[in-house]
Amino acid sequence: MNRHLLSAADLTHDDAVLVLDTARELAAVSGRAVKKLPTLRGRTVVNLFFEDSTRTRISFEAAAKRLSADVINFSAKGSSVSKGESLKDTALTLQAMGADAVVIRHSASGAPHRLAHSGWISAAVVNAGDGTHEHPTQALLDAYTMREHLADGAGDLAGRRVTIVGDVLHSRVARSNVLLLHTLGAHVTLVAPPTLLPVGVATWPCEVSYDLDAPLPASDALMMLRVQRERMDAAFFPSEREYARRYGLDARRAALLPEHAIVMHPGPMNRGMEITAEVADGPRSVIVEQVTNGVSIRMAVLYLLLGGAEPA
Amino acid sequence: MTSTGTTHLLTDVRPLGADPVDVRIEGATIVAIGAPGTLDADGARVLPGAGRVLLPGLVDLHTHLREPGREDAETVATGSAAAARGGFTAVHAMANTDPVADTAGVVEQVWHLGRDTGLVDVFPVGAVTVGLRGERLAELGAMADSAAAVRVFSDDGRCVSDAVLMRRALEYVKAFDGVIAQHAQEPRLTADAQMNEGALSGRLGLRGWPAVAEEAIIARDVLLAEHVGSRLHVCHVSTAGSVEIIRWAKSRGIDVTAEVTPHHLLLTEDLAASYDPVFKVNPPLRREHDVQAVREALADGTIDIVATDHAPHPVEDKECEWNVAAFGMLGLEQALAVVIETMVAPGLLDWAGVADRMAIAPARIGRRAGHGRPIAVGEPANLVLVDPQARGPVDPAASSSRSRNNPYAGRDLPAPVVATFLRGRPTVLDGSLAAPLAASRP
């Protein structure tokens, strides 16, 4: 494993499988009455969140605490950063406090990369979502969830078909998922209106479709991405209703999926926009499981970056 | 008798790379050129040229000196020093200062600051529109008639995107033989743009700056220039498509000139993968294909000149996240080095070509009769002595600029400038300033 986790591309096939296997062992801890391991006792993990994301922050916080690490939550919104303190000065402060790992969430693509490579800090850096770039732990927890349902919780995802639908252009989740799922041997199809696909998507290791119905009968997993209603104002699509009709997941479309297929969403959902409540709460939905698996994955990442290279 | 600064004898120098000669300079003028050893050394300070190349002093049509307003990034004095060390004897100071150089008062202030420093001739560029806001024309005539005698007008940093305003500007400056230097960037296509739009921007999650945003404006502007019979200059051409449009325009006889920056001759968008904002620049670094196209265009004359777009920024504006960092990079001190590396070494340009692209043509576009002159008896002694062999890693800390945003840091490049003469007075000797820069004004 690299010293940092900045991109899903940092993970080799063996690294990725090691993280998933480690997460599976650590998941057992979460089922115990005392949900705690002494592994990272005395180590300090800083959650450095420049962008609001309660879900991701508490997931990392729970993961670090279950490994007995000391956790400092540095919510940069409403702190000195909004008064103009630079990323560099914040980093130097964390360095002075002796942070062993920094989990960073930032609205600027590349901010974790800057933090890891500018020499301001010696801690391991974990990207918890940067701008429209990547969100590697989300991709790992998604892969973990797929592996549990589609591959008996072992090995990789060779040959599985995953369809990812929505605002790929602005989605860090889609970028990390395409990279990681490709590494794990899955076939990925991205589905979006052409306006919400980046220039150059043809060079990505995946298929692209403008039509949602076509790939559904062959999909083992279907991931719906959040689509912000504001995108409509920038002419990415004409109206909420048109988007929902062409790219939303409703009961009719869900019925086109094979019997065993699962429906995923990284949250938070726009019910009625990209997914109907009926499907989100339906039997195929593994959306709540994704959240649970997030804690195990983040435990595994922190463990492997700070603790050691061997499975727990 | 001590005549330092008044009479110099350059021995064994090769003008534009031709056979070696000796050159005698008295006062501001070249007074004699003869075979090595044949000229009178009497009363002259002798500078052995050792077979090095002598070029006319370089002229930059596109320099940001930041004064007035951002003296923490650069001043006319520090920028002039960097220019002299880069082999320049004249620079055109862009108008996007604070206050904007959109009145006779501001351009005269910059012009006076340049004269007081005395290391290069500083020719202010006037803003096309008031405050660079793209709403109404600045008093172009007043700037043209001022002591600064402005001939180049530009809203650089912003595009004159309104087609009617651009047309009027092109027409208006015909009255005093001015030129509009356009920063070609369609604003709506580049809102919050961060780097070249392509596969890499998609992967890095940085908002794209598509080539079409530059090319569409150039296409519109060459047609406007043709329609009103005026003179257009295109700043910092960065794409292969722009080259094609300019080539087409010239073939139609449209009076258009174009510049390319040193960084667009050498660097590609791949550097953005480091997320290090020292590589963030506007227009952005493009693909290898574009780099090859602008080199070929500079070689065949489709692109007329090299202009630095020297853009100093303080450390804190670059030591941050990519998307909040300032656009721009230094260029004055490495411009000739990059041209040697990318154009002379591969055989795309000879020394006469370098003199044309970096001195003669820019002086002609800027209508500066005292610069870009032939190396001949009776001509003003604006000269630069060049050692094509010297090279070494670029050290940003060694710069005379007040800023350190040097994209070539650590890169092994030519270090060609041995001496620079401004009207017979050495501003640079042995690669260093001939006299220390006076302390900053209060």
How many whole angstroms separate alpha carbon A70 and alpha carbon A74? Answer: 13
What are the residues facing A163 on neighbouring strands? A189, A222
Say whether A172 is catalytic.
Answer: no
Residue showing tokens 């590349």: A110
% of chain B with per-residue pLDDT over 70: 98
Among partner residues B199, B274, B322, which is closest to A200 by beta-carbon distance? B199
Q: Which element (helix H / strand E) includes A151?
A: none
Write the secondary structure of chain B as one string of H (helix), E (strand) and C (coil).
CCCCCCEEEEEEEEECCCCCEEEEEECCEEEEEECCCCCCCCCCEEEEEEEEEEEECEEEEEECCCCCCCCCCCCHHHHHHHHHHCCEEEEEECCCCCCCCCCHHHHHHHHHHHHHHCCCEEEECECCEHHHCCCCECCHHHHHHCCCCCCEECCCCCCCCCHHHHHHHHHHHHHHCCEEEECCCCCHHHCCCCEECCHHHHHHCCCEECHHHHHHHHHHHHHHHHHHCCCEEECCCCCHHHHHHHHHHHHCCCCEEEEECHHHHHCCHHHHHHCCHHHCCCCCCCCHHHHHHHHHHHHHCCCCEECCCECCCCHHHCCCCHHHCCCCECCCCCHHHHHHHHHHCCCCCCHHHHHHHHHHHHHHHCCCCCCCCCCCCCCECCEEEECCCCEEEECHHHCCCCCCCCCCECCEEECCEEEEEECCEEEEECCEECCCCCCCCC
With 80 as the cut, is the pLDDT of residue B287 above it? Answer: yes
CB contact under 8 A, A110 and B204: yes
Chain B residues near residue A199 by CB distance under 8 angstroms? 197-199, 201-202, 208, 210
* Mean pLDDT of the B8-32 span: 97
CATH of A8-135+291-307, one of 3.40.50.1370, 1.10.3720.10, 3.40.50.300, 3.40.50.2000: 3.40.50.1370
Chain A residues near residue B316 by CB distance under 8 angstroms? 86
Sequence ranges of chain B with CATH classification 2.30.40.10: 7-54+377-430
How many CB pairs (< 8 A) connect A and B? Answer: 71
Contact criterion met (CB below 8 Å) for A293 and A141: yes
Catalytic annotation, pick one of B102, B121, B309, B387:
B309
* Mean pLDDT of the B318-329 span: 95
CATH class in words for A136-287 = alpha beta
CB contact set of A241 (below 8 Å; sequence gap of 6+): none
Among partner residues A86, A109, A117, which is closest to B205 by beta-carbon distance? A109
Chain B residues near residue A133 by CB distance under 8 angstroms? 204-206
CB contact under 8 A, B205 and A134: yes
Q: Which residues 321-360 of B are in CB contact (within 8 Å) with A?
A: 321-324
CB contact under 8 A, B198 and A199: yes
CB contact under 8 A, A118 and B197: no
How many whole angstroms separate alpha carbon B377 and alpha carbon B135? Answer: 48
* Mean pLDDT of the B254-274 span: 98
Angle, helix B240-251 to helix B211-228, in steps of 10 degrees: 10
CATH class in words for B57-365 = alpha beta
CB atoms within 10 A of CB B397: 7
Task: State the pLDDT at residue B438.
Answer: 67
Domains A8-135+291-307 and A136-287 share a fold: yes
CB contact set of B257 (below 8 Å; sequence gap of 6+): B179, B231, B232, B233, B234, B304, B305, B361, B365
B88-138 pLDDT per residue, tens: 999 999 999 999 999 999 999 999 999 999 999 999 999 999 999 999 999
Residue A232 sits at the chain B interface (C-beta within 8 Å): no
Task: State the pLDDT at residue A234.
Answer: 82
How many whole angstroms separate alpha carbon A224 and alpha carbon B353? Answer: 58
Q: DSSP secondary-structure letter at A271?
A: B
Q: Which element (helix H / strand E) includes A85?
A: none
Residue of A nearest to B195 (CA): A109
Helix (H, G, I), strand (E, B) or coil at A45: strand
Residue showing tokens 């960065």: B238
Domain B7-54+377-430, CATH:
2.30.40.10
Q: Cα–Cα distances in Å, from B79 out to A164, B122, B425?
A: 52, 10, 18
Residue A199 sits at the chain B interface (C-beta within 8 Å): yes
Sequence ranges of chain B with CATH classification 3.20.20.140: 57-365
What are the residues facing B126 on neighbouring strands? B153
pLDDT in tens, chain A (312 residues): 889 999 999 999 999 999 999 999 999 887 888 888 999 999 999 999 998 888 899 999 999 999 999 999 988 765 445 445 788 998 999 999 999 999 999 999 999 999 999 899 999 999 999 999 999 999 999 999 999 999 999 999 999 999 999 999 999 999 999 999 999 999 999 999 999 999 999 999 999 999 999 999 999 999 999 998 777 778 899 999 999 999 999 999 999 999 999 999 998 999 999 999 999 999 999 999 999 999 999 999 999 999 854 444
CB atoms within 10 A of CB B108: 17
Residue B284 sits at the chain A interface (C-beta within 8 Å): no
Domain ranges of chain A: 8-135+291-307, 136-287
CB contact under 8 A, A88 and B275: no
Among partner residues A108, A175, A200, which is closest to B323 by beta-carbon distance? A108
% of chain B with per-residue pLDDT over 90: 96
CB contact under 8 A, A199 and B201: yes
Q: Cα–Cα distances in Å, from A124 out to A59, A95, A112, A132, A238?
A: 18, 11, 10, 22, 43
Nearest chain B Cα distance for residue A85, angstroms = 10
Catalytic annotation, pick one of A4, A24, A57, A105:
A105
Residue B215 sits at the chain A interface (C-beta within 8 Å): no
Say whether B350 is catalytic.
Answer: no
* Mean pLDDT of the B136-142 span: 98
How large is the ipTM? 0.92
